Amino acid sequence: MKIARFRDGRRTAYGVVDQDEIAEIRGSIFTRFRITDTRYKLADIKLLPPTDPLQMWCPGLNFDNHREFAGSVLGEDKTPGTECPEPWHKGRNALIGHDDYIVIPKDSSGDVHYEGELVAVISKVCHRVARKEAMRYVLGYSCGNDVSERTWQRDDWTFWRAKGADTFAPVGPWIETNVNPSDLDMVVRLNGQEVQRSHTSDMIHDFAGIISHISQNVTLYPGDLIFSGATGTTTAMKPRDMVEVDISGIGVLRNFVRAEE
């Protein structure tokens, strides 16, 4: 089932996507809901980020080939070990949805990269859960782009602006509740050309491990978003570029790029 959050005029609602239409739902996507007879054409509504999260968490360097890239770009002192996940917080201010603009900040070096990732959506309050129980706290999955300003990432003490600047967290277009998160292809295209391809089976720490690890010290809430980490090498985006994150079984998250005015 594909569950989308959308806006029709000034109304915000959730619905279930069925081909080129969306059927509005009543109730909570985290507990119980029913599908109504109210339907819209996808072309006539605005898709929003799939939830309104309190928190977004990203594991650092969760694929071996991206660890190699990060070491060459950022330096070995910023590449932690692999014994456990190294999650960091991505600000809620960064969240945007499908077809929204990624904005390159005025004071950026211009070295702003895409990072296509799978995103898990938390379904219920999650605190000190064991790894074997962690997946019971996931509603479904979406596509994400962990946009990163590499100069800031290298030179700043933390990632507060390198990965948390406004618009640096596109997520969408919806939540898919029926996929196996360990068996998905992730493809990134820049202006229609494939620039990144990976498979979720190559994650060093899977979602069960990441969610359990975070929950030992930070309570997760319904709608919170957990990113998978990125793979391989990445390149800079520039104004007027179009970037797509395409994950098998889920869909395509598309965003355009512009410079801050």
Query: What confidence tier does 73 reach under pLDDT thresholds 50, 70, 90?
Result: low
Instruction: Look at the chain and count its residues.
Output: 261
Query: What confidence tier does 47 reach under pLDDT thresholds 50, 70, 90?
Result: very high
Query: What confidence tier does 135 reach under pLDDT thresholds 50, 70, 90?
Result: very high
Query: What confidence tier does 78 reach under pLDDT thresholds 50, 70, 90?
Result: low
236-257: per-residue pLDDT in tens? 999 999 999 999 999 999 999 9
Q: How far apart are CA 119 and CA 67, in angstroms?
A: 19
175-199: per-residue pLDDT in tens? 999 999 999 999 999 999 999 999 9
Query: What confidence tier does 71 reach under pLDDT thresholds 50, 70, 90?
Result: low
Mean pLDDT over residues 99-107, rounded?
Answer: 97
Phi/psi-derived region of residue 73, left when phi > 0, alpha when psi is between -120 and 50, beta in every other case: alpha
Indicate the average pLDDT of the chain: 93
Looking at residue 183, its pLDDT comes to: 97
Q: How far apart are CA 199 and CA 184, in angstroms?
A: 6
Structural domains present in the chain: 1-47 (2.30.30), 49-259 (3.90.850.10)
